[in-house]
Amino acid sequence: MPILNDKQKLMRQIQNCSFALTEANLYLDSHPTCPMGLEYYAKHKKEYDELMKEYAEKYGPITVGQSSTDKKWSWVTTPFPWERGES
């Protein structure tokens, strides 16, 4: 594994958490009343929201809604994820 900088480490945490949400989402679609599934989703959703907020504040927006609107539209100042080192 390559050595990751702080920004990449935070992105990995977001990807891990986001993956847990995707898995729980698909599972809950076919098991909508499973208490363990619901609890798992809620726990990771809380963590995900916190990580997304932290990332946007430190490194820029992941969604358009997080883009800055004072002086400059930060959506176009940060790289897209297909560039090496940006995912």
The type of residue at 21 is L
Q: Tell whether residue 14 is a contact of another protein (CB under 8 A).
A: yes
Give which of 60, 63, 48 is closest to 15, Cα–Cα. Answer: 48
End-to-end C-alpha distance for the chain, whole angstroms: 14
Between 18 and 40, whose beta carbon lies closer to another protein?
A: 18
Rounded distance between C-alpha atoms, residue 73 and residue 18, angstroms: 25
Q: How far is the CB of 41 from another protein (least distance, A)?
A: 13
| Sites for another protein among residues 21-60 (CB under 8 A) | 22-23, 25-27, 29-32
Contact pick of 7, 18, 38, 40 for another protein (by CB under 8 A): 18
